[in-house]
Amino acid sequence: MECRYVGSCEILCRVGVDLVWFDSLGAKSAAIRVHGVLVDPGAAAMQPSYPLPGEEKQRLRSEAVKAIEARAAKANMLIITHYHYDHHLLPSDSSLSNPATLYCRKTILAKNPNMYINKSQWERARLWLSQLLSLCGGEKLENYLVEPQKSEFEDPVEKLVEAHSRDWGDYASRRAELLRRGRESFEKLVRLWASESWVREEIVLADGTRILFVDEGVYEANNVRIKLLGPHFHGIEYDATGWVVPVLLEVNNYKLLFTSDLMGPIIEDYASEILSIDPDILVADGPPTYLFPYMFNRVNLKRAVDNMVRIILESQKLKLVIYDHHLLREKRWRQRVAEVFRASEKAGVPVLTAAECLGEKPLIDRL
């Protein structure tokens, strides 16, 4: 089959990577397929500030769903790294022509919905599973609920060595206050996790659908080695949006690391983790510059940029960075992360959007 990617992105064809849909194409998504493994099959319409009419945003979102559904027909394993709608679709989604094609008779590795999850995603995970059980097995969620399996949960901030040791300067007192508030929010979530019913960790339906709720572990499918790297903050420490599960995919002697929503990464320890893995291909969601400066401050933008610069300059094997998702939601995105592109030129490591890999200009750059 002829390679659909151009220039530096041809490595995606050698590895067998399909960039299904990303924000650079006009709808919120970060869906990829590697052989028969489909990661984060979700799509959402762009936010109100995105410079397109609402009808066009919805049309592009429908196009993204169609692309996901077409790839699902050729996949037998799905991975869902967290329960935001740009990373998973409800079976009841009206844009799906046949929800069973997406979900039924497949193995699904989905983020653990019982711990290291915020209240919103806790509820979304159960809504998604309830619809999935009805669709693929005619069953009810209540049949798969159990008593909480744990009562104590480690605070993941305590494991962040580099983030704590950074010189915070004038921001130190503000950071300390944010961490204090974050710790209080974390303790509230712990009470939720320890008191409410859990979903069973493995569910097998009569039609062959198998659902595994896991945050870490190693799996094999379609000649792809899959390693789930455990819960990571969706952005900064104690981020209110919860946790995600980055995924390492190894195939044809290549490593592809899908960061999910680390938003940069913002946290320094996560950048070091990426460097320790040293992937050939890094599929990274950039910082959410469309939220700058009101919901995403200058300190954390600099952290995200500095971390990506470090990854590019210190990596030994990195051959391509797909830099997309949150980053492609406003016109000044390239200016906001200019240092990343300077590092790309210095190191000779291509940093490109999904659209550019397809030989197109990102939609936001054409508006």
pLDDT at residue 154, as a whole number = 97
Number of alpha helices (DSSP H) and beta strands (DSSP E) in the chain: 12, 18
**pLDDT above 80 for 1:** no
Q: Containing H/E element for 211?
A: strand 210-213
Could you tell me the two tokens for 43? 């799509």
Do 68 and 20 form a contact (C-beta atoms < 8 A)?
yes
CATH of 7-366, one of 1.10.287.130, 3.60.15.10, 3.40.1440.10, 2.60.40.740: 3.60.15.10
Q: How far apart are CA 347 and CA 341, in angstroms?
A: 10
Give the model confidence (pLDDT) of 249-272 as tens digits. 999 899 999 999 999 999 999 999
Residue spans per domain, the chain? 7-366
In this prediction, residue 78 has a pLDDT band, given cuts at 50, 70 and 90, of very high
The 3-state DSSP class for residue 362 equals coil
- Backbone φ and ψ of 225, nearest 5°: -90, 125
Could you tell me the two tokens for 91? 């079976």
- CA end-to-end span of the chain: 33
pTM, to two decimals: 0.98
Buried b (16+ CB within 10 A) or exposed e, 329-357: bbeebbebbeebeebbeebebbbbbbbbb
Do 17 and 256 form a contact (C-beta atoms < 8 A)?
yes
Give the model confidence (pLDDT) of 236-253 as tens digits. 999 999 999 999 999 989
What's the rounded mean pLDDT across residues 99-107? Answer: 97
pLDDT at residue 201, as a whole number = 97
Q: Write 169-173 long-range contacts (CB < 8 A, 24+).
A: 171/299
Cα-based angle 343, 15, 227 (whole degrees, multiple of 5)? 85
